[in-house]
Amino acid sequence: DTAVSQTPKYLVTQMGNDKSIKCEQNLGHDTMYWYKQDSKKFLKIMFSYNNKELIINETVPNRFSPKSPDKAHLNLHINSLELGDSAVYFCASTPGTGNSPLHFGNGTRLTVT
């Protein structure tokens, strides 16, 4: 069974559209994240939720809105997509303590045309 699963794996859409990416983890972890990996492979944290509460909110445009219906799920909704949003988005989870490694999903490759 996949520990951290994201859907869809690929997402191609036009500028101005609204899209969502879903993430689920079956590890029983308390904390979940969204990371963005750009075309140069640089990884940057976007959001983090601990037990459904937002705890990290980096400088991300308001068009990005995370939602955590329960601690096993963290979804990412993006409004009014722009060309610059094209990237690979990774969901991750961790038990929550400082030295616990993150477990990553396989990513969602978003292409905005």
Maximum CA extent, the chain: 40
43 binds another protein (CB under 8 A): yes
CA-to-CA distance for 65 and 25, rounded, in angstroms?
19
62 binds another protein (CB under 8 A): no
Among 44, 62, 79, 83, binds another protein (CB under 8 A): 44
Phi, psi of 15 (to 5 degrees): -55, 140
41 binds another protein (CB under 8 A): yes
CA-to-CA distance for 52 and 111, rounded, in angstroms?
28
Chain residues that interact with another protein, rule: CB under 8 A: 4, 31, 33, 40-45, 48, 50, 55-56, 90, 92, 94, 96-107
